[in-house]
Copies of this chain bind each other. A is one copy, B any other.
Amino acid sequence: MDERPIGVFDSGVGGLTVVKEIRNFLPGEDVVYFGDTARVPYGNKSIPVIRRFCLEITRFLEEMRVKMIVVACNTASALALDFIRRQTNLPVVGVIDPGVRAAIHQSTRGKIGVIGTTATIRSEAYQSRLRRLRSECEVYAKACPLLVPLVEENLLGAPITQLALEMYLQEFRDLSLESLILACTHYPLLKPLINEFFQGKVQLVDSACETAREVAEVLKARRIATFPDRIGSEEFYVSDSPDSFVAVGAPFLGRQMNRVFLEPVWQRDVAITG
């Protein structure tokens, strides 16, 4: 039994969709969340820069005495997961493997689409993992860089979001995909629109749910779950204004946040160890 919190981080608000699922699935666990809102987005930045940011955040979460780290950001998971694992002794869970496994389970023919940020798609992290788990897999990947700003600007119901989805998903329409991995933590909010686009014929894989399941498995396997019947709490840290995080984040978490604090992580002098 281990009462320490689970550390979760993302470049901004998107990882709150993962917090929401972890809290639903593991209501007894405490969660410490970090959102790098001063440097968001990560999706169009380079590998060395993203790794440095992830290292600073890892050191902060270690200082917060977390028992594991959940990289709730697809870009960071795609470009820095192995790097983070070399920098810390804590168990580290990303969002890619859970999403990949779920997509493989849901597809009998192995015809799978992936949408995400430019950096995630360019990294080929999803594509190569899908092919490794199932060699005859047909993978169709597409970077959709405008979807994050559209979701953050709360334009879900606007014609421009419809047009962006058509622009990006057009090429998937006649492919008879079985499943589509939403490889960005902002995209679960677009689920109804994407379902409508595909007329419900494509299964949408939301890595937030799958990641919460993986977290539960790791806690069990390592015997670091908390006591039964405990009621968990949550704390949120951000590198820019807590106020705007609270306002933008509510739809991602599905409710209001209370304990939100400012934490400029870049003030620590980090050293790469591996």
Q: What residues of chain A have their CB less than 8 Å away from a CB belonging to chain B?
A: 37-39, 44-46, 48-49, 52, 145-146, 149-150, 152-153, 155, 158-160, 163-164, 167, 239-241, 244, 264, 266
Nearest opposing residue in chain B for A160, CB measure: B163
Nearest opposing residue in chain B for A168, CB measure: B160
| The one of B37, B145, B158 that contacts A149, using a Cβ cutoff of 8 Å | B145
| Residues of chain B lying within 8 A (CB to CB) of residue A146 | 146, 149-150, 153, 155, 160
| Residues of chain B lying within 8 A (CB to CB) of residue A48 | 241
Nearest opposing residue in chain B for A12, CB measure: B44
| Residues of chain B lying within 8 A (CB to CB) of residue A44 | 152, 244
> Contact at A240–B49, with CB atoms within 8 Å?
yes
> Contact at A45–B49, with CB atoms within 8 Å?
no
Q: How far is the CA of A241 from the CA of B167 in the complex (A)?
A: 28
| The one of B38, B152, B160, B240 that contacts A167, using a Cβ cutoff of 8 Å | B160
Output the least CB separation between A160 and chain B (Å).
5
Output the least CB separation between A220 and chain B (Å).
38
| Residues of chain B lying within 8 A (CB to CB) of residue A52 | 264
> Contact at A241–B46, with CB atoms within 8 Å?
yes
Nearest opposing residue in chain B for A143, CB measure: B153
| Residues of chain B lying within 8 A (CB to CB) of residue A149 | 145-146, 149
- What are 11 pairs between A and B in contact, CB < 8 Å? A37-B45, A38-B39, A45-B241, A52-B264, A145-B149, A146-B146, A146-B155, A160-B160, A160-B164, A160-B167, A163-B163
| The one of B38, B45, B159 that contacts A163, using a Cβ cutoff of 8 Å | B159
| Residues of chain B lying within 8 A (CB to CB) of residue A150 | 146
Q: How far is the CA of A163 from the CA of B244 in the complex (A)?
A: 27
Q: How far is the CA of A48 from the CA of B49 in the complex (A)?
A: 22
Q: How far is the CA of A194 from the CA of B37 in the complex (A)?
A: 31
> Contact at B145–A153, with CB atoms within 8 Å?
yes
> Contact at A46–B240, with CB atoms within 8 Å?
yes
Output the least CB separation between A165 and chain B (Å).
10
